[in-house]
């Protein structure tokens, strides 16, 4: 059985005091019997205080980005070692905002995944099509290519540390989530795609979460799909009540 994962990507939001307020509010709601793995992905500046606040809790910490290089004179970048040192377990790689605003291509994403894995992090690789690509019937091709190039050279063992996030670009921050059947269709296609390249257990066990305008209102139907193993939540993760409602709707 794949364990459901709900990750809150705070993007470029929350000062340190605001981060701590949100964490404390969430911790007050979640109890130890929660069957969902919860991951918070604050901005870099809040990672260390967040880790301190989360000490002893089952909530995991993730980072929004990682350098493709592992160390040295790389001004402005953050390595896997630095992320591990502040308590991160997960790291987002290939988010569409990084692909589109910072021109991160699949080769760069592949390097980031390899660096993250070699340093002991568990990457969450985001893939997804634009609205034009969907309209042109290219969704599965685009995602197939993102997977092939992004995961190139990863071993079966490394694949077991990966989580995938299907995030249609048109659904991110738009208030227009993909329909549960559309999401199931793509998640199933991703699993089939992986099963042609990796051991059957890799394709069967890998977690594939959905992201793009997930809210407390729409999440139950999305999460009820057989190949949907959780959610990557942006906007609705910035408020303890709505993020908790999403986690709670999954149980």
Q: Which is nearer to ligand PGA, 214 or 247 (CB)?
A: 214
172 binds ligand PGA (CB under 6 A): yes
Taking a C-beta distance cutoff of 8 angstroms, is the pair 167, 212 a contact? Answer: yes
Span of 72-80, 110-118, 151-159, 205-213 interacting with ligand PGA by CB under 6 A:
205-213
9 binds ligand PGA (CB under 6 A): yes
Our answer to whether residue 167 is catalytic in this structure is yes
Taking a C-beta distance cutoff of 8 angstroms, is the pair 113, 66 a contact? Answer: no
Q: Which is nearer to ligand PGA, 198 or 229 (CB)?
A: 229
Beta-strand pair 207-211/163-166: parallel
**Measuring CA to CA, which residue among 124, 103, 115 is closest to residue 67?**
115
Our answer to whether residue 199 is catalytic in this structure is no
Count CA atoms closer than 13 A to 183's CA, side-chain side: 32
235 binds ligand PGA (CB under 6 A): yes
151 binds ligand PGA (CB under 6 A): no
Span of 116-124, 139-147, 156-164, 233-241 interacting with ligand PGA by CB under 6 A:
233-241
8 binds ligand PGA (CB under 6 A): no
94 binds ligand PGA (CB under 6 A): no
Q: Name the one residue in this structure whose structure tokens are 């905002």.
A: 97
Catalytic residue among 37, 68, 95, 97: 95
**Measuring CA to CA, which residue among 191, 201, 176 is closest to residue 226?**
191
DSSP letter for 226, please: T
Q: How far is the CB of 70 from ligand PGA (least distance, A)?
A: 26
Quick one: which of 212, 229, 247, 249 contacts ligand PGA (CB under 6 A)? 212
CA distance linking residue 69 with residue 77, whole number of Å? 9
Taking a C-beta distance cutoff of 8 angstroms, is the pair 16, 45 a contact? Answer: yes
**Measuring CA to CA, which residue among 181, 247, 238 is closest to residue 43?**
238
Quick one: which of 80, 128, 168, 234 contacts ligand PGA (CB under 6 A)? 234
Count of Cβ atoms closer than 10 Å to residue 155 Cβ: 10
213 binds ligand PGA (CB under 6 A): yes
The length of the chain, given as a count of residues = 251
Span of 49-57, 77-85, 136-144, 226-234 interacting with ligand PGA by CB under 6 A:
226-234
DSSP letter for 211, please: E
Give the x/- contact pattern for ligand PGA in 30-69, rule: CB under 6 A.
----------------------------------------
């Amino acid at each position: 059985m794949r364990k459901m994962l709900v990750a809150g990507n705070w993007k470029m939001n929350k000062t340190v005091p605001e981060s701590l307020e949100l964490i404390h509010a969430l911790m007050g709601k979640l109890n130890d019997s929660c069957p969902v793995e919860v991951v918070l992905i604050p901005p870099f500046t809040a990672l260390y205080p967040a880790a301190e606040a989360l000490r002893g809790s089952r909530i995991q910490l993730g980072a929004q980005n990682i350098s493709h290089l592992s160390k040295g004179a790389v001004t402005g970048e953050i390595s896997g070692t630095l992320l591990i040192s502040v308590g991160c377990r997960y790291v987002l790689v290939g988010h569409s905002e990084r692909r589109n605003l910072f021109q991160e291509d699949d080769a760069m994403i592949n390097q980031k995944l390899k660096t993250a894995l070699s340093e002991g992090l568990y990457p969450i690789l985001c893939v997804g099509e634009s609205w034009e690509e969907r309209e042109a019937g290219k969704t599965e091709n685009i995602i197939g290519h993102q997977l092939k190039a992004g995961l190139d050279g990863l071993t079966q063992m490394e694949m077991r540390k990966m989580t995938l996030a299907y995030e249609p670009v048109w659904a991110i921050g738009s208030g227009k989530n993909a329909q549960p059947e559309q999401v199931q269709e793509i998640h199933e296609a991703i699993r089939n795609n992986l099963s042609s390249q990796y051991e059957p257990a890799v394709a069967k066990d890998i977690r594939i979460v959905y992201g793009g305008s997930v809210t407390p209102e729409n999440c139950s139907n999305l999460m009820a799909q057989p190949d949907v193993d959780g959610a990557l939540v942006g906007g609705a993760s910035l408020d303890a009540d709505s993020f908790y409602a999403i986690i709670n709707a999954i149980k």
